[in-house]
Amino acid sequence: MKIVIVQNTDWLNRNPAQQHHLAEMLSLRGHEIRVIDYEILWRTRGERRLYSRRQVFDNVWKIHPNASITVIRPGIIKIPLLDYISLMFSQRREINRQNREFSPDVIVSMGIVAYIAGRIAKRNNLPFVYYWIDVSHRLIPFKPLQPIGWIIECRALKMADTVLTINHKLREYVVKMGAPLERTQVLGAGTEIKQFNPNNNGKAIRRQYGIKNDDLILFFMGWLYQFSGLKEVALQLAKTHNDNLKLLIVGEGDAYEELQSIREKYNLQDRLILTGQKPYQEIPSFIAASDICLLPAHPDEKIMQDIVPIKMYEYMAMKKPVIATRLPGVMKEFGEDNGVVYVDRPEDVIGKAIELIQSGKIEKLGTKARHFVEKNSWDNITDEFERILEEAIKEKART
């Protein structure tokens, strides 16, 4: 198959997500993949200029060295608000160009730009698959535009030949938005079962960061959003007079500088470890070095209501229990007795972690977590994704 993937975020510099895994796995199976992305991090990275020109990146991979993805980045006007408006025009031009030059068999899109991708797919009688891994209109930083984003998403949902969601809660959401139930399917997240192997002991990471054998490590990885709850966890850590309880955070993002300030203000240099972003291949060793993993996002944050971050599966594959706030999508996906322990607020994480440590339940919870995700290998998920795309192509050919 020849597949075009369209998204409104950064394929190259953001952490690997669902679409990265699937695209690279399909590439390894001989399919040709072209991705049209968006330089969403332009305000903090890259050249400071008023506009950017179209760029093409060949043989891109983030997870599998033998995968080969072509990433096309349309130019944009680098002025807040105008960047999103210019993106609409430049991505439409690029999708049309790929349709002429690449002749794709199917177009897969995520985010607000799916409406543009869908219109072009319909005009050219191509199957259009709308893939939901989050609620994109809630991520628009300029809030007055979010209602417009919602309207665009609703129209794209009704247009799509197939709507895929990453979890069951998100499927309920898109059906409420108008997606025909019979066109929706859940394509759950996966994990690299062999790579995220609990036999990894993480000793090298613990030595590198001065973590002692009797230290108890709470762990988070990913983009550090303001609503991630990590600042609240760090402040509670500062109130806990236990030098062996530490918080290890891998990632960068909006909250990074504030976390650094908390570390300095409360003299947490040895207890709040901020590593910055790390290569995906190193992540299993960081998880292995921890005792309990965290997803402490604010439960009332709209962006987090219906999603299940891939990190949850990767934590659990490493046989680690997870403390999470009561996010509806997460609770629906993992239930109450599968290695995930829930708290009401980010401020409750430290207390719950101490409770788990004192009760001696960590190992038992970790075993349950690993058992729950073992069936979610990326091989199995890719098999299903490949089947869905092939069926969409066949169905379009029949019409």
User: Tens of pLDDT along 106-148?
Assistant: 999 998 889 999 999 999 999 999 999 888 877 777 778 788 8
Q: Is 306 found in the same domain as 172? A: no
H or E segment to which residue 382 belongs: helix 378-398
User: Is the CB of residue 364 less than 8 Å from the CB of residue 339?
Assistant: no
- Amino acid present at 188: G
Check pLDDT > 90 for residue 307.
Answer: no
Q: Is 381 found in the same domain as 366? A: no
Q: Is residue 297 part of a domain?
A: yes
Q: Is residue 276 part of a domain?
A: yes
CB-based burial label for 47 (10 Å; 0-12, 13-18, 19+): exposed
Q: Is 73 found in the same domain as 18? A: yes
- State the DSSP string of 197-209: -TT---HHHHHHT
Q: How far is CA 95 from CA 89, 100, 169, in A?
A: 10, 9, 30
Q: What is the tens place of the pLDDT at every residue in 181-231? A: 999 999 988 888 888 989 888 999 999 999 999 999 999 999 999 999 999
The structure tokens 């608000």 sit at 81
Per-residue tokens: 243 = 């030098």
Rounded mean pLDDT of 78-98? Answer: 92
Q: Is residue 159 part of a domain?
A: yes
Q: Is residue 391 part of a domain?
A: yes
Output the pTM of the full model: 0.81
Q: Which of 35, 39, 37, 17 is nearest to 104 (CA)?
A: 35
Q: Is residue 196 part of a domain?
A: no
Q: Is 209 found in the same domain as 159? A: no
Q: Is 308 found in the same domain as 160? A: no
H or E segment to which residue 231 belongs: helix 230-239
Q: Is 13 found in the same domain as 78? A: yes
Decide which of 268 and 374 is more confident: 268
Q: Which of 61, 66, 52 is nearest to 11 (CA)?
A: 61
Range of the domain at 366: 203-373
The structure tokens 């796995």 sit at 25
Q: Is 165 found in the same domain as 208? A: no
308: domain CATH number is 3.40.50.2000
Q: Is 212 found in the same domain as 78? A: no
Q: Is 394 found in the same domain as 322? A: no
Q: Is residue 275 part of a domain?
A: yes
Q: Is residue 292 part of a domain?
A: yes
Residue 218, helix vs strand vs coil: strand
Q: What is the pLDDT of residue 195?
A: 87
Edge-to-edge strands, sheet with 2-6: 55-60, 69-73, 32-36, 2-6, 106-109, 128-132, 162-165, 184-186
Q: Is residue 134 part of a domain?
A: yes
Per-residue tokens: 129 = 């698959």
**Average of per-residue pLDDT values in the chain:** 93
Q: Which of the four pLDDT bands, split at 50, 70 and 90, describes residue 313? A: very high
Q: Is 391 found in the same domain as 273? A: no
Domain count for the chain: 2
Beta partners for residue 70, in sequence order:
34
**Is the Cα dihedral 197, 201, 206, 212 positive or negative?**
positive
Residue 196, helix vs strand vs coil: coil
The structure tokens 């440590």 sit at 357
Q: Is 315 found in the same domain as 343? A: yes
Q: Is 150 found in the same domain as 224? A: no
Q: Which residues, at least 6 apart from 68, have a Cβ–Cβ distance to it below 8 Å?
A: 27, 58, 59, 60, 61
CB-based burial label for 113 (10 Å; 0-12, 13-18, 19+): buried
Residue 352, helix vs strand vs coil: helix
Q: Which residues, at least 6 apart from 200, have a Cβ–Cβ distance to it below 8 Å?
A: 284, 285, 288, 318
% of the chain surpassing 90 pLDDT: 76
d(CA 396, CA 169): 28
Q: What is the pLDDT of residue 47?
A: 66
Q: Which of 279, 328, 280, 274 is nearest to 305 (CA)?
A: 328
Rounded mean pLDDT of 56-82? Answer: 94
